[in-house]
Chain A
Amino acid sequence: MELNIAMDKQELLNEELQKSRKAKKFNLYLGMIGMFMMFAAFSSGFIVYTNSGVDKGIKTILPYVFIYSTAAIVISSLTMYLAFKAVKNNDLGKQKIFLIATILLGVVFFFLQLEAWSVLFSREITFTNTNASQSFIYVFTGFHLAHIIAGILVLTRCLIGAMKNIPLGNNIFRMEIASIFWHFLGLLWIYIYVFLLLNQ
C-alpha cells in the first residue's frame, strides 16, 4: 500500500515535471518568435531605407568569408544534432565530443564574422556611414553575433552539465532546449545572409 502511494507520488511528480518542461519549451518557441520579429523589423527598416534613394543600398559584394562562416554554422548544427542523438542513446562520451565540436564551430563562426567586418573595413565601409544600408550589414551581423554568444553560453552550460554527470533526464532536456535554440540561430543566419545577398 505504502509503495503504491509512493509510486503514485512519483508519477504525479513526473507528470508535473513533464508539464513544466513542456511549458518551458513553449516559452522558448515564443521567445524565438520575438527574436525573429526583431530581425524582421531590421529587414523592413532596411528595405524602407534602401528604397529612399538611388545612392542607398549595399553597393558592394559581400565578403567571401561569409560563405565559410555559413559552412561553419551549418556543420555546427549537424554536430549539435549528433550530440543530441548521442545523449538520447545515453552515450555521454560521444555527446561531449560533439558538443565541444559545436562550441568550437560557434567560436569559429564568431571570428569569421569579425573577419568579414575587417574585410568591409578595408573597403572603407564603416559602421558610421552616410549610406546607412551599409551600416545595416553591421546591425544584422552584430545582433546575430550577440545571440551567438548567448547560444555558446547555453551550449557551455550543457557541456558543464554533461561533465558533472547531472541526471540523464535533465541532461537530455538541457540539450533539447539548447539544440532548438542553436538550430534557430543557424536558420536565422541563413535568413540574414540570403536577405543581404538578394539586396547586394
Chain B
Amino acid sequence: MSTTVISHDAAHHDDHGHHHETFLTKYIFSQDHKMIAKQFLITGIIMAVFAMVLSILFRIQLAWPDKEFPILEVFLGKWAEGGRIKPDFFLSLVTIHGTMMVFFVLTAGLSGTFSNLLIPYQLGARDMASPLMNMLSYWFFFVACVIMVASFFIESGPASAGWTIYPPLSAVPTAIAGSGLGMTLWLVSMTLFIASQVLGGVNYISTVLNMRTKGMELWKMPLTIWSFFLTAIVGLLSFPVLVSAVVLLFFDRSVGTSFYLSDLVVGGTILPNEGGSPILFQHLFWFLGHPEVYIVVMPALGLTSEVISTNARKPIFGYHAMVYSLVGITVLSFIVWGHHMFVTGMSPFLGGVFMITTLIIAVPSAVKAFNYIATLWRGNIRFTPAMMFAIGMVSFFVSGGLTGLYLGNATLDINLHDTYFVVAHFHLVMGSASIFGMLSGVYHWYPKMFGRMMDERLGYFHFWLTFIGAYLVFFPMHFMGIDGVPRRYYAFTEFPFMEKWVSVNLLVTWAAIVSAVGQVAFLWNFFASIWCGKRAPQNPWKSNTLEWTTPVEHIHGNWPGEIPSVYRWPYDYSKPGHDEDFIPQTVPHSQTMSSNLLHDWEGNEEGIAAQKAYNREHDREIEG
C-alpha cells in the first residue's frame, strides 16, 4: 500500500481556509473534526444519561412490582397511574433503553467521537477527507436523537417492540400502543441514523486510506486507527442491509404488502396480509444486528490497546496479532448472524454451521484478551483513571465473552434463549466493556479535547462505583437465566417459579441506582473540568502518537507548521538503551542509535551499516 505524501505547509493552508469563523460556524455547524468529535461526545453523554434513567425506571418496577411510587406519576402521568409503571410503558422503556444505548451511545457516541478526534490527529491529517460530509453525519445523528426523544411526548408513547423491532409488533400499527406513531418515529429516527453512519463511515475509510502523513504506512498506524477503520468497513457493509429490512417493514406497515406478515388476527379482525415471513425480517435484521455488536466493541478494543500500552509503558504485545484478530472479527462478524435465530425452527444443519462460525470468534477475541494481559505483565503500570477503565474493559470482555461460548452453542441456546442469561452476556461483553472502553478514551484524550485535565480522585471514585456496580447488576442475572427467567417480563410476581428471584432483583436495582448516582461524579468531573480543570501539558501521558505533537490550543489544520513525518511504530515504550521510556513516532532512527535494533532499519543498508558501526563502537551486542 503506497503512502500519500502531504507536503503543504500551514501558511498555504491558511490561504484557502475559510477563516471568518462565527459562533455558528465554530460551535454549531462546524466542519472541524475536533469540534465534531466533541459534539458527538456530548450528545452521546446526554443520550447515555437519558437511557440510563430509563433503565432505572424499569429496574424500579422489577424490584418493587407491588409498590406504589407517587412521584413516578408526577413525571410520567398516565404511564405510571397510581405510581406504578404500566406494562405497555415498561416495554417502551426497555425498547428505547436498548436502542439508545446500542445505536446512539455506543455506535455514534463512541465511533463518532473517537474516529473523528483521532483519525486525523493520529494519522497526521489536517482534517477528514470530506469535512462537509462529516458535519452532515453529526447533524443527521442529532436529528435522529431529537426524534427518538420526541417519541416520549406523543399520546401513544414510544416504540415498544424491543430494540430488535421484530414484526408483527413493529409491522402492525394497531398491535400495541407503541406500534403506532411511536414505531413510525423510531423508523424515521433510525433511517436518519443510518444515513449519519454511512456518511461518517465513508469518510473514515477514505481518510485512513488517502490522508496519512509521510511515513505513516498501514503497519505503523496505532491500533486505535485500525479498529476505527475496520469498524467503518463493517458499518458500511451492514447498515445498508438494515435499510432494506426497514424499507420492507415500512411497506408492510403503510402500504399493505406481506413481506413479514401472515395469518394475523388483531382485536377480532383478520388482517389481509397473507404469506409473509417474520423470520425474513430476523435474517435481514441480524445481518446488520450482529456486525453491529462488533461496531460497538471494536473501537473500545482499539482505545483500550492504546491506553494499556501507554500506561503499562510497554509495547503492545503482538501488534500484528492484534490487527489480524480485528480483521478476523470483521470477517467473521458477517457469517454468524444465525446464532440469534437458533430457536426459529432453523434447520439443525444450518444451526450447526452458524454455531461453528460463532465459536471460531472466540479465537481472535481470546488473542486480544491474552495480548492485553501479556502487555500488562511486568509492565511499569501507571494506574491513571483511563488505565483503570481500560483494565476494567478487559475484565468485562473476558467475563462476558466466556458466556458467549455457552450461548453460541445451538443446543444450550434452546434453554438459554431469551432469558436473563442473554441479558447478562451482552450487557457485560458489549455494554459494559464498550462503555468502559469509551470512558477510558474520555479520561485519556480529555486533555487533547479540552486542553485541561480531569480530576483523578473523582475518576477513581467513578471507576470503582461503576465497576463494582456493573458486576453486581449483571452477574446475578446469569443465575436467573439458568433458572429460565425470561427477559423483558414486566413482573416477577405472576409466576411462582420466578418469585424467589424478586429478592435478587432488589439487590440488582439497588446496585443499579447506586452506580447510576455514581455517574454524577463523572458528569461533574467532565463538565466542570472544561472550565476549571488543571491546564494540560502538551503530552500529559508521555505518549508516542502524533496527536500529542499538536499544540494544546486547537487550531484549524491541527499543526501550525508542516505536518510531522513518521518514522516508527507507535509502541516504542521502555525501549532498552533509550534514555526515556518513550520514543514518539516522529523521532527518526538516526537519533536513537543507542536503542535501535537492526530490523528497525527495515532493510535500509546505509542505516544498518551505520548501526553496526555504532554498535561496535559502543560495545552493544544486540541481535536484530
Contacts and interface: CB of A to CB of B under 8 A. Distances in A.
Interface stretch (B179-187, B241-249, B296-304): B241-249
A163 interface: no
Given A23-B210, A139-B247, A132 B236 contact: no
A37 B210 contact: no
Contacts of B12: 9, 12
B616 to A, nearest CB: 44
A42 B202 CA distance: 22
A128 interface: yes
A186 to B, nearest CB: 20
Given A26-B129, A27-B130, A52-B277, A38 B244 contact: yes
A47 B274 CA distance: 18
Contact of A15 (B8, B206, B273, B275): B8
Interface residues of A, number: 39
Contact of A41 (B211, B255, B284): B284
Contacts, number: 115
A34 interface: yes
A139 B248 contact: yes
Contact of B4 (A19, A30, A131): A19
A93 interface: no
A27 B4 CA distance: 16
Contact of B248 (A35, A45, A56, A131): A45
B517 interface: no
A95 to B, nearest CB: 27
Interface string B265-306: 000000001111101100110010000000000000000000
A34 B240 contact: yes
A70 interface: no
A34 B198 contact: yes
A34 B4 CA distance: 25
A41 B257 contact: no
Helix, strand, loop or mixed for chain B's interface? Answer: helix
Interface in A128-149: 128-132, 135, 139, 143
B259 A132 contact: yes
A16 to B, nearest CB: 6
A37 B237 contact: yes
A55 B265 CA distance: 22
B280 A27 contact: no
A127 B241 CA distance: 21
A135 B251 contact: yes
Contacts of A31: 198, 202
A135 B240 contact: no
B585 to A, nearest CB: 22
Contacts of A56: 275
Contacts of A131: 275
B259 A135 contact: yes
Which residue of B12, B201, B244, B284 has the most chain A CB atoms within 10 A of its CB atom?
Answer: B244
A139 B207 CA distance: 34
A155 to B, nearest CB: 22
A23 B274 CA distance: 47
B484 interface: no
A128 B274 CA distance: 10
Given A12-B12, A37-B241, A44-B283, A135 B236 contact: no
Contacts of A190: none
A135 B147 CA distance: 30
A18 to B, nearest CB: 11
B346 to A, nearest CB: 11
Interface of B: 4, 7-8, 12, 15-16, 129-130, 133, 198, 201-203, 205-207, 209-211, 236-241, 243-245, 247-248, 251, 255-259, 273-277, 279-280, 283-284, 287
29 contacts: A12-B8, A15-B7, A24-B130, A26-B209, A27-B130, A27-B133, A30-B201, A31-B198, A33-B237, A34-B239, A37-B237, A37-B238, A38-B241, A41-B240, A41-B244, A41-B287, A42-B244, A49-B259, A49-B280, A55-B275, A127-B251, A127-B257, A128-B255, A128-B256, A130-B273, A132-B259, A132-B276, A135-B257, A139-B247
Interface of A: 9, 12-13, 15-16, 19-20, 22-24, 26-27, 30-31, 33-35, 37-38, 40-42, 44-45, 48-49, 52-53, 55-56, 127-132, 135, 139, 143
